[in-house]
Chain A
Amino acid sequence: MAKITYVEHDGTRHEIDVKPGLTVMEGAVKNNIPGIDADCGGACACATCHVYVDEAWLSKTGEKSSMEESMLDFAESVQENSRLSCQIKVSDELDGLVVTMPESQH
């Protein structure tokens, strides 16, 4: 299990044990964490699972695919550390990961 901390836009923190192999998005959705909508269920088709990855973890979460990059380009409030959480696979390496949700997923 990898402990992942999901921080809502208002600062509310949720610490969740997520099974390696799931995505960061699935960890949130399966635990009913507000702030990650994931309308398309992980098909990289909607950009409603947008998160900010804590700077310390950026290199460990891997590279963005061109599709992800392109979708993010048109999401709201995008920053350098923006990712689509459906494209980050959880592994033991990510134990301790902290992600923050944007104000809105639309």
Chain B
Amino acid sequence: MSSASAHVVIVGAGHAGGTVAALLRQYGHEGPITLLGEEPIPPYQRPPLSKAWLKGEADADSLALKPLEFYTENNIDFRPNAVATKLDRGAKTVTLADGSTVSYDILILATGARAISLPIEGKDLAGILFLRTAADAEALKAAVGPGKTLAVVGGGYIGLEVAASGRALGAEVVVIEREQRLLARVACEALSSFFQDRHVSHGVRFELGATVTGYLGRDGHVVGVRLDDGREIACDAVVVGVGAHPNEELAKDAGLECARGVVVDLDARSVTDPSIFAIGDVAHRPMPIYDRMFRMESVPNALEQAKQAASAIMGRPRPPGECPWQWSDQYDLKLQIAGYAFDVDEIVVRGEPASGKFAVFHLKGDQVQAVEAINSPPEFMMGKMLILNRKPVNKAKLADPSVSMKEVAA
């Protein structure tokens, strides 16, 4: 069967799944497309759930990637509440929880990742929330407001965005982080302390170097958390943001090579089975600029891999290499991050953190590996370019904000 008439089945209707379905039609795919989603609603933007949506600045319509009619008009068989339970690569079928099966010629796994929960006392109490889905966000929105106290477990980006939105909605917020500093896994110390100061000035409390050992409950609802030093912190709800785990079980059980994520090539194609692709949070993919493979959790990554898979299926040229990036909005701060800080031997801070406008460059030799830019689009945009083209930079110029980024990159 030629791929033009192939039946493409997409498991997972998140940002990656929804995008690849739309791209296949945009690129002229004529065969049937089936989009299986576990949630009751069509694909939507997740990033606003912790930001604009939580603060009431975006509604469900504006979150949707495409209106519902789009799927019918484009002959995409979108099936909500469809949970895939088994993949049979020999028969080329996916079995759903209701026992039905769907046959595919080409399969795209876009099953995403799930929030990690803490296996501690009281973990099943009501009011212990996560933030992955619109339903999670609805529950969180209902739980925060004036007079409420929100305990955030995990001082990563999700936790900090929720903390900022929680304060905007009038709730008391306490963030509990296991490490001695915020964003310990992803950012340098300068950035950690900058964000901590900003959150403190907005009234967020921090418990750093503290581990939550149990949730306290009354009548089945969480009323507090216990820390490892024995202290108890009262709260009305808990948001757990301690990372995510790829939903790779379907692939693993079917014998596809996985390494905390389905292992794919530059076309997002499984290295085990050429008729299967994996995209987005669930994929363990090559990243040539760093000469290594890893798994990313970001919208730009989901979009990029959707393009790779759709291009490969349609016989279009592979999209040009990209510099991975992501962003976070907290209060009046726009953080834009390009690249990943692999093998870094030097950090250059450009600008004055106290001004609220600065950028942190992570260097390996004289090459930029990553940049974190706070309210600094030029540093982000040029940084992204420098990371992608691996051009050596003059560190003295880079560290001097009076030298324009265009000159630094020239």
Contacts and interface: CB of A to CB of B under 8 A. Distances in A.
Q: Do A and B come from one complex?
A: yes
Interface in A19-70: 22, 26, 29-32, 34, 37, 39-41, 43-47, 67, 70
A72 to B, nearest CB: 9
B378 A73 contact: yes
A2 to B, nearest CB: 16
Given A73-B378, A106-B320, A41 B334 contact: no
Interface string B10-52: 0000000000001001100000000000000000010110000
B378 A74 contact: yes
A45 B303 contact: no
A47 B382 CA distance: 12
A26 B62 contact: yes
Contact-size category for A? 20 to 34
A31 to B, nearest CB: 8
A74 B74 contact: no
A45 B382 contact: no
Given A45-B327, A45-B336, A70-B377, A30 B303 contact: no
Given A29-B65, A32-B22, A39-B299, A47 B381 contact: yes
A46 B300 contact: yes
A35 B25 CA distance: 14
A16 interface: no
B17 to A, nearest CB: 15
Nearest to B48: A41
Nearest to A68: B377
B329 interface: yes
B48 A30 contact: no
A46 B299 CA distance: 12
A32 B377 contact: no
Nearest to B298: A39
Contacts of A73: 377-378, 381
Contact of A30 (B70, B300, B325, B334): B70
Given A32-B26, A45-B336, A74-B378, A37 B66 contact: no
A75 B325 CA distance: 15
B315 interface: no
Contact of A45 (B65, B334, B405): B334
Contact of A41 (B299, B381, B382): B299
Given A44-B334, A47-B381, 8 more contacts: A26-B62, A32-B66, A32-B74, A37-B303, A43-B334, A45-B334, A67-B375, A73-B381
Interface of B: 22, 25-26, 45, 47-48, 62, 64-67, 70, 74, 299-300, 303, 320, 325, 327, 329, 334, 336, 375, 377-378, 381-382, 405
The 10 lowest CB-CB distance pairs between A and B, nearest first, are A74-B381, A70-B377, A45-B327, A41-B45, A71-B377, A39-B300, A32-B22, A30-B66, A39-B303, A34-B26
